[in-house]
Structures are given as C-alpha cells and as structure tokens.
Amino acid sequence: MRRRSLRIILLWLAALGGVALVLWLWPSLPALQSDLTRLQAVLEHGQGWRDRNPRLAALAYLGSFALAGALPVPVIVALTLAGGAFFGFWLGLALSLAGTIAAALLTFMAARHLLARPVRRLLGGRVGQLDRMVEANGALALLSLRMTPGLPFFVLNMACGVSIMSARVFAVVTLLGVLPNKLILTAAGTQLAEIDYITDIAGPRVIAVVALLAVFPWFARWLSRRMRSRLAET
C-alpha cells in the first residue's frame, strides 16, 4: 500500500515537473528554435560528409567510440545517440554495439594485463565477490550487473578484467546486456535527427521514445533484482 502511494506521489511530482519545465521554457522557444536550426545545419553537414565518405565515416565513428568509451568518461549515451542521428537506425545500432564491445574489451584487457595490481587494490573485496558470483552462476552474474542502472560501465569492465571471467564470455554477455538500451538510444538518435521545429518534439514517435527512455531504467532495475534474487537461491 505504501509503495502504491509512493508511486502515485512520484507520478504527480513528475507531471508537475513537466508542466513547470514547459512554462519555464515557453519564453525561450524562439531562441531554442534558433539553436535547433543551427544544430540541424551541423547535422546535415556531417551527413553530407558521411555520404561522400561512408567507409571512412563508419571507421572514424567506430574508432572514436572504442577509444572514448574505454576511458572513465560518460560518453557512451551521447555517442550512441549520435550514431542513430548520423547513420540511421540499423547501421547506427550495429556501429554503436561494435564500438561498445570494443571499448569494453579495451578496458577489460588493460585491467587484466597492465593494471591488475592497482585495480585489485582499488576494488578490494569486490573482485573476490565477483569471482564467487562467476563461479556459482557464470555469465548470468555479469548479465545481472549489466542490467543494473547506475553501475558505471568503466568500473564494471575493470572489475571483470581482474576477475576469473574469460574475455569471450565477457564480450558476449556485454553484447546481450547493452542491447536493449542500445535499441532505445539509437531510436532516440534517429528521432532527434528528424526534429526540424520545436513543435516536432510533441510528435508521437518522439514521445514514445522519451517514454521508453524513462521507463527502461525502472524495468532494468526490477529485472536485475529478480535475476540476483534467483541467483542467490541457486
């Protein structure tokens, strides 16, 4: 009963926050439209270069994604959105997935072969806990962690690098774990590329994608808890 009341309160607060945001932004709509026009001009210029150099554009995006994603910088979401905006849904999805796996493996291998001692010293007993989870439940242990919202991508990659997990299992489970989020973010990127006017934000596709972005972390949290509870029972 208390949880239901809390959810109702949170929904009302979210609705009030949305109304307040609209009222706050209303006087700034002309300036926002001007910024959106400039952003569209930059995007069209980039897409034109992509059309003239498709292979180079894909390789540049993939390389930038792999290198930037391997660093402790929160760029994964922005790069995934950019992939959808510049390359469309299917190619953007494929490139962002490949870049994410490459970035994760770079961090994984660096932790395993170059930074094992400092990483183990930094993480302490968490590495042993992860090893026990992997021994008991294998790939499902990592999948439950990948589905946990708020767990830093870089930190989990480093921890797995100094664990007993194999690189092959790590790559496959990482692909499965990030796929749902990649689908939503890439779709969001394609919709962002189609927004020409502020009023387009109220379109049904944009609203649907925003709703998915809002709901998915709650679903992922629920799913990760269910997975961890089942793993604890086995």
pLDDT digits (tens, 9 = 90+) for 49-101: 888 999 999 999 999 999 999 998 889 988 998 999 899 999 999 999 999 99
- Please check whether residue 130 lies inside any domain of the structure: yes
The answer to whether residue 20 sits within a structural domain is: no
Tell me if the pTM is above 0.85.
no
CA distances 82 to 41, 93, 98, 136, 154, Å, are 15, 10, 14, 39, 20
The answer, yes or no, to whether residue 180 has pLDDT greater than 60, is yes
How is 170-219 classified by DSSP, letter by letter? HHHHHHHHHHHHHHHHHHHHHHHHT--SGGGGGSHHHHHHHHHHHHHHHH
With respect to residue 62, please indicate whether it lies within any of the assigned structural domains.
yes
Bigger pLDDT: 64 vs 217: 64
Does 227 have pLDDT greater than 90?
no
Name the H helices within the chain: 2-25, 29-52, 54-69, 76-87, 89-113, 116-123, 125-137, 139-146, 153-161, 167-193, 204-233
Domains of the chain: total: 1
Amino acid 136 reads A
Q: Which of 10-19, 65-74, 117-126 has maximum average pLDDT?
A: 65-74
pLDDT at 26: 46
Is position 21 within any domain? no
Is 4 within the bounds of a domain? no
Domain residues for the domain of 144 are 30-233
Q: What is the pLDDT of residues 155-176, one digit of tens each?
A: 889 888 888 888 898 999 899 8
